[in-house]
Amino acid sequence: MTVNWCLLRSTQIVAISKLLLNILKLQILFFFRHLISFNLMKHASLDALAHQEDAVLVSLAMEAEGKIGQREKKMTRKEILERKKAIENVIKSASAVKDHLSFFPHFRHYRTNGLYAHLEAGCGNKLTLHRKRYIQNLLKLNMEAPYGPEWPAEEKIKRREMVAKEACYIFVYEISSEDVDEMSRLGDRAKTCSCEGPIVGFVHYRFILEEEVPVVYVYELQLEPRVQGKGLGKFLMQLIELIACKNRMGAVVLTVQRANLSAMDFYIGKLGYTISAISPSRVDPLLGLEKSYEILCKTFDDEAQAVLEIKSQRTNYMENRYETEHGMDDHMIKSEERIEFKYSWSRIFLGRCC
C-alpha cells in the first residue's frame, strides 16, 4: 500500500510539475506578446504623427524579435519626434509674422493695366468693422452664384473663418493717380497707405498642415469685378507663392467651386495649379460627383509633390486621353469641356464598375 501510495504520489507530482511548467510557459508567452503589441501600439500612434508608419512598424516588429538593437530604436523615435516638432515650429514661426509683405517690398505696389494699388497686411482677429463688412459684401457679390443653394450655409462658415486669429490677409487699396506720384517718391518707405483709396480686393491665407505637409492654404482670393482681368489676381498669387517658399511651406493649396469656371481656368490654365490627389474627385470618382468643389495645389518640394500631387493611374489615363484627343497646349479649350470630359469619363468608369 505504501509503495502504491508512493508511486501514485510521484506520478501526481510529475503531472502537477508538468502542468505548472506549461502554465509558466504560457504566462511567459503572453507576457512577451503583450510587450510586443504594447510597443507596436505605442510606436504606431507616434508614427501616425510622423508620417513613417510602415518603416517604423516594420522596424519595431523586427526589434521585438531581437533583430535590431536598442540604439537604432531610439534613433527612429527621436527622428520622428524631431520631425514633428520641426514642422510645428515652421508653421508657428510663419504664422507669427505680422507682415509678410515686409519681405517683399516690391509687392507693396501694383501699377499695371491702368490700375494703381497699394497692398497692406492684416490679421483675422484685428479686422476693423469696415474691413469685416467689406469682406462679407465682396464674398456675397462674387460667391453667391458659384455656391448656389449652398451659399447661406457657406456664408456662415466664411464669417467665422474670417475673424480667426490664424487668418492672414493682404488687402488691396486702389490709389488715385495723384497719390501714385507720392507713393513712387516714397518708394519702399511707403509701408502704410496714407492715401484714402477704397479697398478693391483681398487674399485670406493660412499656414496649416495638409496631410502632414506644411502649406499655405488660400481661403479666399476676391477682387471686385471692376479690377478683375488686369493682372492683379496673378500678382497676388505670385506673392502668396513667394510667401509660401520664404516660410518653407511645401505647397500652396486652395479650394475652388467647380461651378466657378473662370477661377478654375485662372488657377489651372494660367497659373499651373493641378487638381490635388486629396481632392474628392481624385480620392474617389463617386465622392467627386457628390462634392461641388476641387482642391488645387502647386507644390515646391518632393514630399509635398508625393503627397499632394501624385495622381492615380485612372486619372492619369483620363487626362492622357483628354490630351491625345485635344492636344497638350490647347489653351483655347474651355474648362467646361475639360470638366465635362472628366465627369463623363467618371460616369463611364462607374458604369463599368457597377
Question: Is residue 277 a contact partner of residue 289, using CB atoms and an 8 Å limit?
Answer: no
Closest distance between ligand COA and the C-beta of residue 143, in Å? 7
Listed residue (192, 196, 162) closest to 179, CA to CA:
196
Number of residues interacting with ligand COA: please give it, by CB under 6 A: 19
Q: What is the grid cell recorded at 149?
A: 443653394
Residue 1: strand, helix, or coil: coil
Closest distance between ligand COA and the C-beta of residue 117, in Å? 11
Q: Does 137 bind ligand COA (CB under 6 A)?
A: no
CA distance linking residue 83 with residue 48, whole number of Å: 12
Q: What is the grid cell recorded at 36?
A: 510586443
- Segment contacting ligand COA (CB under 6 A): 57-65, 119-127, 169-177, 259-267? 259-267
Q: Does 279 bind ligand COA (CB under 6 A)?
A: no
For ligand COA, the closer of residues 105 and 231 by Cβ is: 231
Q: Does 327 bind ligand COA (CB under 6 A)?
A: no
Question: Is residue 113 a contact partner of residue 226, using CB atoms and an 8 Å limit?
Answer: no
Residues making up the chain, counted from first to last: 354
For ligand COA, the closer of residues 73 and 108 by Cβ is: 108
Q: Does 203 bind ligand COA (CB under 6 A)?
A: no
- Judged by CB under 6 A, the residue of 102, 112, 194, 262 near ligand COA is 262
Of residues 232 through 251, those in contact with ligand COA by CB under 6 A are 232-234
Question: Is residue 247 a contact partner of residue 205, using CB atoms and an 8 Å limit?
Answer: no
Q: Tell me which residue has its CB nearest to ligand COA.
A: 233
Which residue in this structure is represented by grid cell 502504491?
Answer: 4
Closest distance between ligand COA and the C-beta of residue 56, in Å? 38
Task: Give, for 171, the enclosing helix (H) or strand (E).
Answer: strand 168-174
Q: Does 231 bind ligand COA (CB under 6 A)?
A: yes
Q: Does 307 bind ligand COA (CB under 6 A)?
A: no
Residues ≥6 apart with Cβ < 8 Å to 174:
115, 116, 117, 197, 198, 199, 200, 227
Q: Which residues bind ligand COA (CB under 6 A)?
A: 142, 221-223, 228-234, 254, 256, 260, 262-263, 265-266, 270
